[in-house]
Amino acid sequence: MSVKRIGVLTSGGDAPGMNPCVRAVVRSALYHGLEVYGIRRGWNGLIHGDIVKLDQKSVSHTINRGGTILYTARSKEFMTEEGQRKAVSTCKFLGLDSIIAIGGDGTFRGARALSKYGINVIGIPATIDNDISCTNYCIGFDTAANTAIECIDKLRDTMQSHERCSVVEVMGRHAGYLALYVGLAVGATAVLVPEKEVDFEKDVIEKIRQARFNGFTHYMIVVAEGAGSASDIAKRIKQSIDLDPRVTVLGHIQRGGNPTGRDRVNATKMGFMAVELLMAGKTNRIVCTNEGSYRDIDIEEGLAMKKNIQQMEIDLLAAMTGYHS
């Protein structure tokens, strides 16, 4: 397999660390004497030819920047066979023999579709949800978690002053990894995640009562967006106990901000590895991490895997919030 010209794109929801990853792809490709092109606005850019040539200057001073200099989007058109054929035509017209796609599972499904037309593809996991099954860690998770922790720490100051209950909703789509991590880090009274069925009386109300009995006058409930609406949970608390909770939905602020050192370094290593895989003649792979080491896995295999919160983490949550699971 001969690699001469690489295209790189970011797709789906943005994640802090995408820019360092793009930078690493560009610098690694140039190191090997390859040409590299930035595909703007994800798969839409490949369909419509929204592509620019990248060099060292293009990615200069981007390692510390949040968001993505290539922009990102979700593409319904690319989900169709016609859209995929248009993308392939763009690749052939520009001589792109390989695509490095940075994003989540939707991005990888797009890469898998493109590979069926003979284009070499490598996927790099980047999502604040940290829900890609084949990897322990996704680019953007650490920054998003630290953003949420900082916001909740500040929120706690005012909640403590007014002796209030606060219900905070964090992102994560259908996964609770972000909420669990943040909840443990801020010492939440209760944490609700979609992977664990909620017994509202036991998992929320009784924990508030126990905290009150132990002398606490403020209570922090962290909710993953996939586990329910923070507003609905606040209403149920008000109906069940003599409290008037305040609701905070952190929303898209969690996707912003300068990437942490951990995200910058992981993104850099993953971008470098993606280019190395192509140089080694590999295609249809996803770059993964496993307990600090880096590996690659077939896209089909990676997409078929299921990721669940480990029982140890559920037990840890139960111990830290005061009740048996």
Looking at the structure, tell me whether residues 130 and 160 fall in a common domain. no
Q: What is the pTM of this model?
A: 0.94
- The strand pair at 285-290 and 246-249 is best described as unpaired
Instruction: Measure the CA–CA gap between 52 and 96, rounded to whole angstroms.
Output: 12
Considering the domain architecture, whether residues 136 and 272 belong to the same structural domain is answered as yes
- Is residue 118 assigned to a domain? yes
Look up 97 and say whether it is catalytic.
Answer: no
The pLDDT, as a whole number, for residue 324 is: 44
CATH number of the CATH domain containing 130: 3.40.50.450
- Residue 305's alpha-carbon distances to 80, 131, 297, 302, in angstroms, are 24, 11, 11, 5
Same-domain pairing of 98 and 146? no
Whether residues 127 and 265 share a domain: the answer is: yes
In a domain, residue 249? The reply is: yes
134, pLDDT greater than 90: yes
Whether residue 318 lies inside any domain: the answer is: no
Catalytic residue among 129, 131, 142, 296: 129
Domain presence at residue 316: no
Nearest to 124 by CA among 101, 147, 95, 150: 101
**Residue ranges making up the domain that contains 195:** 142-256
- Reported as a single tens digit per residue, the pLDDT across 53-84 is 999 999 999 999 999 999 998 889 999 999 99
Structural tokens at position 227:
């586990």
Residues 109, 14, single domain; the answer is yes
> Could you give the CA distance from residue 103 to residue 91 in angstroms, rounded to a whole number?
20
- What is the distance between the alpha carbons of residues 42 and 108, in angstroms, rounded to a whole number? 12
Q: What is the predicted pLDDT for the residue at 317?
A: 87
Q: How many domains does the chain have?
A: 2
92 and 35 within one domain: yes
Domain assignment present for 285: yes
- Per the domain annotation, does 314 fall within a domain? no
Read off the pLDDT of residues 175-201 as tens digits, 9 standing for 90 and up: 999 999 999 999 999 999 999 888 999
User: Computed from CA positions of residues 191, 194, 198, 200, in that sequence, does the dihedral angle turn out positive or negative?
Assistant: positive
Q: Please report whether residue 315 resides in a domain.
A: no
Contact 25, 6 (CB under 8 A): yes
Give pLDDT tens digits for 84-128: 999 999 999 999 999 999 999 999 999 999 999 999 999 999 999
CATH code, 183: 3.40.50.460
Same domain (yes/no): 164, 210: yes
Which residues lie below 8 Å from residue 305, measured CB to CB, with a gap of 6+?
133, 134
Contacts of 132 (CB under 8 A, 6+ apart): 104, 105, 108, 125, 138, 286, 302, 307
18 within domain boundaries = yes
Last residue of a domain, one of 198, 232, 256: 256
DSSP 124-163: EEB-TT---TT-S--BTHHHHHHHHHHHHHHHHHHHHHHT
Is there a single domain that holds both residue 98 and residue 237? no
